[in-house]
Amino acid sequence: MNEVPQKTILLICTAGITTGLLVKNMQRAADEKDLALHIYSAPAIIAEQIIQQQTVDALLIGPQSKYEINRLKDFLHYKAVPYKLIEASDYEALDGEAVLQESLQLLGQ
């Protein structure tokens, strides 16, 4: 395994079913690359609470929740959490590899 500390990636969305499947695909792709990542999802409504209470190294936002960017932007800047809207095509295809690559860019890897 990499000697880098584990990083945490949070995906947020409105409902969670599709995002849960995407998380599984992303975690599988990360594990295959032997990357020290913890990837999970949560409803957008509690994102601020999670970021206050836990370490989140990158935040990815489901395309249907893009309005959350305006709500969370100042808070994310204050907490220095990089964030990105997930590409709709990658989200719809549940392309864990593509979304993982987006995450790694946010993490500077």
Cβ atoms of 7 and 107 closer than 8 Å: yes
| Residue among 60, 50, 52 nearest 12 (CA) | 60
71: Cβ contacts below 8 Å, ≥ 6 apart: none
What digits encode the pLDDT tens for the residues 60-109? 999 999 999 999 999 999 999 999 999 999 999 999 999 999 999 999 98
Name the catalytic one among 9, 13, 29, 59: 13
Q: Please tell me the number of Cα atoms within 13 Å of 40 on its side-chain side.
A: 11
Superfamily of domain 7-106: Response regulator (3.40.50.2300)
pLDDT, tens digit, 9 for 90 and up, residues 11-23: 999 877 789 999 9
Domain assignments of the chain as residue spans, ordered by start: 7-106
Contacting residues for 77 by C-beta, under 8 A, at least 6 apart: none
Catalytic residue flag (residue 14): no
Model pTM above 0.85: yes
